[in-house]
């Protein structure tokens, strides 16, 4: 993977592999004033670059080994996006001077890309033209297609063939600044002086939150709501007293017994930032301002992270930032705050920046201000910076710049949630603590000359942590040992949180936390660096992080290397002759054993537990399940001994990714279509796939002729229907084309689009009719609560997938898989669209339905990922199935299907295990996570469609199309993976639901699924 070490990862979708040409860098301008606004526009237009540069910040959206969509691609012209074009959007305007800071940041990024991808520092089509009086210059742009196709280097958007854009509009001096540090050929002018660049202040946010990012807007709403709700109460009054406990629990620390003695302002700030969507990897949630400020300053020094410390005198605060100042008469400076993490201070959230008759100001909301949640006005000077003097009482220290864009944080499957963080700290307390005869925490008196001072509690000593240590001593002397232990756990968790910034794996995180607490932050960093084989300078930077990210894919091996590195560091000071050595070895080995338990958390637990309540759902009115198969009155898990439980330590089961399913050579239909109809179907499918049209929401009008080809998202063969006005000379039921469109269109408009844009001239005559199905965007697609054993039809999923449906149980056909009880669902439900690894945990319910328990999903695990058929996104590739299997613990799943009953509960039923081929007009049923039990009609058994997988599109052939009755849905999002069966006494399986839009559902043929995965359904 190619990710810029200094970038903030803000993911968007790529479009797959490059196809032609050498690597090149394409320079764009956003034509706007902020990265947040640009990223919002990308999401609306689905035109994505690799990078966005704003001042000294780089946002990376897509790995540079993957193509993106920022270049406009006209039909019939070479697809320039796939010509190894790495695309950078610079925040600013083509017609205006560029920020000098942004240009320096762009230069550093370009030098890295040149080295990473072997890009020469030249401009093959010449340098960009500067604006003329702020407008497009009246000159011809060199868009030579042959040069573009054959020569690597730098190109402006203005140089790209088949487009009319003229950005970036660099002046000669701006080109020189972008190319600073490179060996530039004569094609680029270098004689311009930087002083020729007009001075331009780095962009500042407009007053107020309206122009802020979605995350910042969320943060401001949360802080304001807390102020409005609780500012009339002081900390010892309800409801604020209980709310402060909520703030503590929210960031993973124990609530205080005496709130009047607890400084809760940093806890309030941390809670607001976390509620808005920041992760512990992004912000160091802490009850001490100094801790997260130090982390932010270190981020700024390293040029990484979304929260960065800024000097008060150099930076104008914006909405969403934090302003920190001294407290209790302190005089700590920014440079001291870089080194220190234990001093009194206060910070608050900027919720408004503006100007009135008194001058410019920033309005902040903070906790524990006069014992409540308060608002404070901070004076700003004419440039927008804080009015500041080191001579004033409690001078300002730092501004924490908030660069986070997205309002909702991505789930980090392997990062420790708050409860697990405290569990880690509790283990460390167990290594360190001295206890009395009743097992209670005790004070340890240290020998004279001990490096830790005179006494310690749970390893927290008087010399280095005197304030906290004395607090613990006072609690113990008062007989409040339990409270002292909780305080020690919270303190150790807080002091070791930087481990979450060094690794994303919980087992590695725990071991590194123990190293940090035992040997300090620098010692912990040294041990981690030694383990991954980089320079041991004690400072975690991009090189160390990259090495950790690469090696933590094998956490057991990395844990063993950490254990060896820990010993190697200790041998720099002592060896086996030391009386402390046996205790140290015991500590290292205990920590190693405990770390390994985090690798398999929840994987072995079979005990039922109450899951989230979910939403109550009633039975669909008037639906009676056909057939005489009587479901059992109680859940009946698979018989003991018939199946083996998953082997989580074995080699990857089943070969992991299965071979892609071969495309059927013949299109099957229930009544034989004419040869010319089959030919039309094949040619139209090829042309739709060639355009790789995505079913997206777009306006349709007579003036938007070129967009019509994007509206056609699939084709199949169905039966002429009077309700669709498709009955021609051959009468009702005769084979006709089914055309699937993204927007509502009448038959004449559809036929015109097919003739004009797909050259389907056979459809010109009036007597040639088609069925038009409005699908909207065809996308990957309640019984949402915890159930054990879990029946078919309920919510399941991979931890990185919101939720899908447990389709049906199966077993392998080969000898080595016959004893495995397998759950069948979709690739995009169980295998995260090819992105998962064999043995990844599979949960019931899916993450979306776990509620607050999503932070600790272990108890919800029902199986491990076993096999999946890869989805091929390569242009021209044709897929047949979207399917995967999970190897399940027999006691955690059941073969029956579930549906709501008429009393507000559920009832169970069974379906057959002998597959049946779908035919048109067949009545079918399914039960799924979202729409539960529904009935529909098969309208096509040979559909060729383009499916949207979160911005990537894949082509599928030989699919079943199902339509719900009247305007009722047969399926909706979350029903993906449902088994579709005949609505008769046999309930024979016919398909696996995987995609849909509006009233239309698409399914893989069950025969293709079973063959691709080499499985049989469990009877």
pLDDT: which is higher, 60 or 782: 60
Least confident of 14-23, 419-428, 914-923: 419-428
Question: In whole angstroms, what is the distance from residue 965 CA to residue 1001 CA?
Answer: 12
Least confident of 162-166, 404-408, 558-562, 576-580: 404-408
Question: In whole angstroms, what is the distance from residue 323 CA to residue 400 CA?
Answer: 7
Question: In whole angstroms, what is the distance from residue 583 CA to residue 568 CA?
Answer: 16
Element holding 58 (H helix, E strand): strand 57-60
* pLDDT score of 457: 92
Residues 6+ apart with CB under 8 A from 78: 20, 145, 149, 161, 162
Say yes or no to pLDDT of 794 above 90: yes
Q: Give the burial class of 910: count Cβ atoms within 10 A of its Cβ; 0-12 exposed, 13-18 middle, 19 or more buried.
A: middle
Alpha helices for 453-580 (secondary structure H): 466-477, 481-495, 506-532, 542-551, 555-570
- Tell me the mean pLDDT in the region 101-116: 91
> Among candidates 327, 371, 334, 341, which has minimal Cα distance to 467?
341
Least confident of 297-301, 415-419, 824-828, 1003-1007: 415-419
- Tell me the mean pLDDT in the region 595-616: 39
Question: In whole angstroms, what is the distance from residue 25 CA to residue 2 CA?
Answer: 14
pLDDT: which is higher, 55 or 323: 323
Enter the DSSP assignment of 572.
Answer: T
> Among candidates 676, 669, 717, 965, which has minimal Cα distance to 726?
717
Say yes or no to pLDDT of 356 above 90: no
The tokens describing 317, both together, are: 């605060």
* pLDDT score of 443: 92
* pLDDT score of 107: 94
State the pLDDT confidence band at 622, using cuts at 50, 70 and 90. Answer: very low
* pLDDT score of 225: 85
* pLDDT score of 707: 44
State the pLDDT confidence band at 902, using cuts at 50, 70 and 90. Answer: low
Q: Please state at what angle helix 675-691 crosses helix 747-758, rounded to 10 degrees.
A: 70
With beta carbons less than 8 A apart as the criterion, state whether 792 and 898 touch: yes
Question: In whole angstroms, what is the distance from residue 830 CA to residue 976 CA?
Answer: 10
> Among candidates 223, 207, 300, 295, which has minimal Cα distance to 265?
223
Specify which of 577-586, 636-645, 723-732, 989-998 reaches the highest per-range mean pLDDT: 989-998
Q: Give the burial class of 977: count Cβ atoms within 10 A of its Cβ; 0-12 exposed, 13-18 middle, 19 or more buried.
A: buried
Question: In whole angstroms, what is the distance from residue 327 CA to residue 324 CA?
Answer: 10
Paired residues of 29 in beta bridges: 90
State the pLDDT confidence band at 997, using cuts at 50, 70 and 90. Answer: confident
The tokens describing 332, both together, are: 């700590």
Strand 51-54 vs strand 24-29: parallel, antiparallel, or unpaired? unpaired
Residue entry with tokens 């029903």? 975
With beta carbons less than 8 A apart as the criterion, state whether 496 and 508 touch: no
| Number of Cα atoms under 13 Å in the Cβ half of residue 244 | 28
- Tell me the mean pLDDT in the region 627-648: 50
Question: In whole angstroms, what is the distance from residue 571 CA to residue 615 CA?
Answer: 58
- Tell me the mean pLDDT in the region 524-540: 90
State the pLDDT confidence band at 196, using cuts at 50, 70 and 90. Answer: very low
pLDDT: which is higher, 186 or 854: 854
* pLDDT score of 691: 64
How many other C-beta atoms can be found within 10 angstroms of the C-beta atom of residue 120? Answer: 18
Q: Give the burial class of 43: count Cβ atoms within 10 A of its Cβ; 0-12 exposed, 13-18 middle, 19 or more buried.
A: middle
Say yes or no to pLDDT of 755 above 70: yes
Enter the DSSP assignment of 411.
Answer: P
Q: Where are the domains of the chain?
A: 8-196, 214-402, 418-597, 675-779
pLDDT: which is higher, 291 or 986: 291
> Among candidates 172, 207, 203, 168, which has minimal Cα distance to 187?
172
Radius of gyration of the chain (CA): 32
* pLDDT score of 607: 26
* pLDDT score of 620: 31
Q: Max CA-CA distance within the chain?
A: 105
* pLDDT score of 976: 93
What torsion do the CA atoms of 336, 338, 343, 349 make, to the nearest 10 degrees? 120
pLDDT: which is higher, 681 or 629: 681
How many other C-beta atoms can be found within 10 angstroms of the C-beta atom of residue 902? Answer: 9
Q: Please state at what angle helix 506-532 crosses helix 581-597, rounded to 10 degrees.
A: 130
- Coil, helix or strand at residue 748: helix
Backbone torsions φ then ψ of 866, nearest 5 degrees: -110, -55
- Tell me the mean pLDDT in the region 365-393: 89
Return the CATH architecture of domain 8-196: 3-Layer(aba) Sandwich (3.40)
pLDDT: which is higher, 869 or 597: 869
Element holding 223 (H helix, E strand): helix 214-230
Q: Give the burial class of 442: count Cβ atoms within 10 A of its Cβ; 0-12 exposed, 13-18 middle, 19 or more buried.
A: middle
Give me the CATH code for the 418-597 domain, please. 1.20.141.10
Say yes or no to pLDDT of 831 above 90: yes
Question: In whole angstroms, what is the distance from residue 94 CA to residue 410 CA?
Answer: 33
Strand 153-156 vs strand 24-29: parallel, antiparallel, or unpaired? parallel
Share of the chain above pLDDT 90, in %: 37
pLDDT: which is higher, 740 or 863: 863
* pLDDT score of 333: 94
Per residue in 691-713, pLDDT tens?
643 332 222 222 333 344 457 77
- Coil, helix or strand at residue 213: coil
Least confident of 265-269, 427-431, 664-668, 767-771: 664-668
* pLDDT score of 781: 46
With beta carbons less than 8 A apart as the criterion, state whether 15 and 184 touch: no
- Cα-based angle 748, 753, 755 (whole degrees, multiple of 5): 95
Please provide the DSSP assignment of 664-706 as one string: PSS---SS---HHHHHHHHHHHHHHHHHT---------TT-GG
The tokens describing 813, both together, are: 């056909």
* pLDDT score of 208: 38
Backbone torsions φ then ψ of 641, nearest 5 degrees: 90, -15
- Tell me the mean pLDDT in the region 165-192: 70
Enter the DSSP assignment of 442.
Answer: E
Strand 932-949 vs strand 952-963: parallel, antiparallel, or unpaired? antiparallel
With beta carbons less than 8 A apart as the criterion, state whether 286 and 270 touch: yes
pLDDT: which is higher, 212 or 874: 874
Specify which of 395-399, 568-572, 626-630 reaches the highest per-range mean pLDDT: 395-399
State the pLDDT confidence band at 120, using cuts at 50, 70 and 90. Answer: very high
Per residue in 433-473, pLDDT tens?
888 877 888 998 887 766 778 889 998 988 777 878 888 89
pLDDT: which is higher, 550 or 690: 550
Say yes or no to pLDDT of 524 above 50: yes
Chain center to CA of 170: 35
Say yes or no to pLDDT of 25 above 60: yes
pLDDT: which is higher, 650 or 1009: 1009
Specify which of 76-80, 231-235, 460-464, 804-808 reaches the highest per-range mean pLDDT: 804-808
Q: Please state at what angle helix 555-570 crosses helix 542-551, rounded to 10 degrees.
A: 130
Least confident of 197-206, 247-256, 855-864: 197-206
pLDDT, mean over the chain: 81
How many other C-beta atoms can be found within 10 angstroms of the C-beta atom of residue 273? Answer: 26
Element holding 38 (H helix, E strand): helix 35-45
Share of the chain above pLDDT 70, in %: 83
- The H helix count followed by the E strand count for the chain is 21, 39
Contacts of 647-654 spanning 24+ positions with Cβ under 8 A: 648/600, 648/603, 648/604, 648/839, 648/864, 652/838, 652/839, 653/817, 653/820, 653/838, 653/839, 653/864, 653/866, 653/867, 653/887, 654/812, 654/817, 654/820, 654/838, 654/866, 654/867, 654/885, 654/887
Say yes or no to pLDDT of 657 above 80: no
Residue entry with tokens 């030391």? 578
- Coil, helix or strand at residue 252: coil
Strands (E), 880-974: 884-888, 893-900, 906-909, 923-928, 932-949, 952-963
- Tell me the mean pLDDT in the region 853-859: 80
* pLDDT score of 198: 30
């Amino acid at each position: 993977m190619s990710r810029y070490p200094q970038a903030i990862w803000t993911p968007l979708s790529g479009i797959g592999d490059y196809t032609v040409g050498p690597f090149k860098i394409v320079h764009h301008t956003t034509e706007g004033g902020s990265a947040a606004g640009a990223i919002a526009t990308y999401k609306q237009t689905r035109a994505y670059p690799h990078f966005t540069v704003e001042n000294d910040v780089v946002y990376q959206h897509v790995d540079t080994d993957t193509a993106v969509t920022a270049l406009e691609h006209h039909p019939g012209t070479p697809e320039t996006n796939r010509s190894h074009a790495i695309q950078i959007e610079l925040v600013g305007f083509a017609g205006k001077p560029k920020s000098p800071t942004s240009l320096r940041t762009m230069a550093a990024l370009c030098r890295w890309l040149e080295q990473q991808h072997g890009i020469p520092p030249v401009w093959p089509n010449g340098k960009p033209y500067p604006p003329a009086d702020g407008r497009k210059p009246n000159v011809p742009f060199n868009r030579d297609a042959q040069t573009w196709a054959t020569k690597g280097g730098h190109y402006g958007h203005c140089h790209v063939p088949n487009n009319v854009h003229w950005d970036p509009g660099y002046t000669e001096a701006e080109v020189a600044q972008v190319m600073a540090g490179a060996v530039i050929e004569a094609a680029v002018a270098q004689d311009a002086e930087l002083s020729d660049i007009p001075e331009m202040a780095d962009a500042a946010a407009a007053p107020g939150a309206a122009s802020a990012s979605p995350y910042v807007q969320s943060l401001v709403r949360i802080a304001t709501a807390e102020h409005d709700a609780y500012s009339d109460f002081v900390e010892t009054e309800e409801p604020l007293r209980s709310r402060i406990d909520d703030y503590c629990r929210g960031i993973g620390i124990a609530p205080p017994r005496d709130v009047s003695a607890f400084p809760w302002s940093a806890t309030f700030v941390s809670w607001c930032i976390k509620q808005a969507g920041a992760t512990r990897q992004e912000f160091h949630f802490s009850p001490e301002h100094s801790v997260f400020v130090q982390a932010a300053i270190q981020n700024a020094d390293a040029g990484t992270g979304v929260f960065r410390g800024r000097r008060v005198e150099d930076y104008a605060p914006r909405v969403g930032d934090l302003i920190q100042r001294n407290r209790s008469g302190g005089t700590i400076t920014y440079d001291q705050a870089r080194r220190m993490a234990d001093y009194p201070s206060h910070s608050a959230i900027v919720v408004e920046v503006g100007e009135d008759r008194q001058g410019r100001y920033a309005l902040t909301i903070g906790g524990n201000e006069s014992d409540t949640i308060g608002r404070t006005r901070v004076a700003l000077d004419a440039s927008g910076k804080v009015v500041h003097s080191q001579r004033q009482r409690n001078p300002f220290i730092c501004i924490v710049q908030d660069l986070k864009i997205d309002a909702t944080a991505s789930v980090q499957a392997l990062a420790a949630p708050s409860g697990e963080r405290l569990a880690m700290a509790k283990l460390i307390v167990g290594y360190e603590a001295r206890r009395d005869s009743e097992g209670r925490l005790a004070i340890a008196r240290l020998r004279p000359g001990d490096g830790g001072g005179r006494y310690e509690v749970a390893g927290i000593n008087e010399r280095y942590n005197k304030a906290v240590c004395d607090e613990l001593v006072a609690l113990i002397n008062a007989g409040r040992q339990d409270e002292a232990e909780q305080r020690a756990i919270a303190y150790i968790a807080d002091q070791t949180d930087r481990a979450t910034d060094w690794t994303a794996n919980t087992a590695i995180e725990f071991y590194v936390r123990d190293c940090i607490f035992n040997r300090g932050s620098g010692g912990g960093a040294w041990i981690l660096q030694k383990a991954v084989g980089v320079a041991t300078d004690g400072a975690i930077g991009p090189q160390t992080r990259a090495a950790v990210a690469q090696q933590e894919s094998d956490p057991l091996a990395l844990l063993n290397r950490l254990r060896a590195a820990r010993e190697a560091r200790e041998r720099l000071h002592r060896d086996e002759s030391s009386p402390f050595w046996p205790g140290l070895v015991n500590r290292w080995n205990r920590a190693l054993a405990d770390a390994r338990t985090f690798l398999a958390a929840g994987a072995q637990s079979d005990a039922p537990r109450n899951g989230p309540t979910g939403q109550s759902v009633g039975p669909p009115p008037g639906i009676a399940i056909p057939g005489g198969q009587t479901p059992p009155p109680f859940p009946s898990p698979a018989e003991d001994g018939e199946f083996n439980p998953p082997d989580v330590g074995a080699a990857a089961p089943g070969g992991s990714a299965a071979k892609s399913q071969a495309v059927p050579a013949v299109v099957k239909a229930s009544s034989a279509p004419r040869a010319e109809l089959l030919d039309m179907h094949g040619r139209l499918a090829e042309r739709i796939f060639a355009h790789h049209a995505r079913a997206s929401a777009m306006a349709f009008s007579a003036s938007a002729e070129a967009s019509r080809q994007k509206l056609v998202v699939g084709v199949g063969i169905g039966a002429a229907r009077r309700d669709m006005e498709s009955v021609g000379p051959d009468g009702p039921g005769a084979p006709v084309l089914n055309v699937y469109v993204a927007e509502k269109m009448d038959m004449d408009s559809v036929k015109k689009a097919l003739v004009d844009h797909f050259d389907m001239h056979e459809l010109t005559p009036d007597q040639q009719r088609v069925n038009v199905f409005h699908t909207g965007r065809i996308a990957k697609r309640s019984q949402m609560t915890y159930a054990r054993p879990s029946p078919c039809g309920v919510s399941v999923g991979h931890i990185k997938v919101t939720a899908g449906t447990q389709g049906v149980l199966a077993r392998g056909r080969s000898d080595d898989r016959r004893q495995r009880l397998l759950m069948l669902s979709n690739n995009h439900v169980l295998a995260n669209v090819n992105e998962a690894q064999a043995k990844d945990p599979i949960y019931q319910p899916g993450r979306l339905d776990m509620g607050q328990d999503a932070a600790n999903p272990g108890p919800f695990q029902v199986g491990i990922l076993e096999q999946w058929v890869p989805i091929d996104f390569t242009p021209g590739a044709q897929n047949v199935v979207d399917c995967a299997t999970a190897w399940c613990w027999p006691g955690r799943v059941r073969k029956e299907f579930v549906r709501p009953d008429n009393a507000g509960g559920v009832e169970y039923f069974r379906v057959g295990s002998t597959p049946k081929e779908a035919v048109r007009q067949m009545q079918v049923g399914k039960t799924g996570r979202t729409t539960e039990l529904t009935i529909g009609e098969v309208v096509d058994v040979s559909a060729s469609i383009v499916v949207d997988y979160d911005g990537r599109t894949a082509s599928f052939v030989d699919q079943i199309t199902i339509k719900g009755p009247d305007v009722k849905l047969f399926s909706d999002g979350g029903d993906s993976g449902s088994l579709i069966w005949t609505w008769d006494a046999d309930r024979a399986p016919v398909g696996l639901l995987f995609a849909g839009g509006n009233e239309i559902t698409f399914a893989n043929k069950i025969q293709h699924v079973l063959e691709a995965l080499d499985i049989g359904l469990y009877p």
